[in-house]
Homo-oligomer: A and B are copies of this chain.
């Protein structure tokens, strides 16, 4: 997972590895498993976990471990994009209520988009992204728009840098095709994601700009592909404009 960089404090790396492992395994996990998962000696894992428990980062149930509630607090205090999240929420909820599908708020970080927040509809079947999770730019609607914001070179560099890994058989894995497609999306002012990240899931995404034209975020609707409708584009763009105004 995490590479052993030279200028790192060992215990911090190990702690994060453990937290990651806990995040991966939903619910309660035993020590043995965690130790195996992180490659740590059981006794070492035990001691680090014990310390994490004392600090509330991890919770114990019997001799199983879970992520602790302190992380809730810390997570809710992440200041980056806090204004964005606060202003976006009502806009997202309204859009969700109008459309009846999941609405996502994302930002770019490096070669990925990060899901900052979401508004979920009340439906049996719905698309559910996890807050804080990541996805490569070239397999998401918003990500493709972000790729298109720079000049073509930036997009090509991205392609080479990442090798355009495919996630489904619909993912763009060819540089030329991607560049082509991206420029089309930018011209249109919105992008589709046609099962490029996950089979069966379709998206429509737009960007949110500030008055100077800088990208602030991405707003998207995710739905089972067969439910997705083209006439969501207008309300989505409208929502982005509203959000933009709120942040202005």
Q: Which of B47, B50, B57 is close to A16, meaning CB atoms less than 8 Å apart?
A: B57
Q: Known contacts being A11-B12, A89-B120, A120-B89, is A78 close to B51, with CB within 8 Å?
A: no
- CA of A13 to CA of B75, assembled, Å: 18
Q: Which residues of B contact A76 (CB under 8 A)?
A: 75, 130-132
In contact, A74 and B80 (Cβ under 8 angstroms): no
Closest to A68 in B: B78
In contact, A79 and B26 (Cβ under 8 angstroms): yes
Closest to A122 in B: B90
In contact, B51 and A12 (Cβ under 8 angstroms): yes
What number of copies of this chain does the assembly contain?
2
Interface status of A40 (Cβ within 8 A of chain B): no
Q: Which of B19, B73, B133 is close to A130, meaning CB atoms less than 8 Å apart?
A: B73
* Chain A contact residues, CB within 8 Å of chain B: 2, 5, 7-9, 11-13, 15-16, 19, 22-23, 26-28, 47-48, 50-52, 54-57, 59, 66-80, 82, 89-90, 93, 109, 114, 116, 120, 122, 130-133
Distance in Å from the Cβ of A41 to the closest Cβ of chain B?
14
Residue among A9, A13, A90, A114 with the highest chain B CB neighbour number at 10 A: A9
Closest to A2 in B: B55
In contact, A132 and B47 (Cβ under 8 angstroms): no
- CA of A175 to CA of B69, assembled, Å: 30
In contact, B71 and A78 (Cβ under 8 angstroms): yes
- CA of A76 to CA of B67, assembled, Å: 10
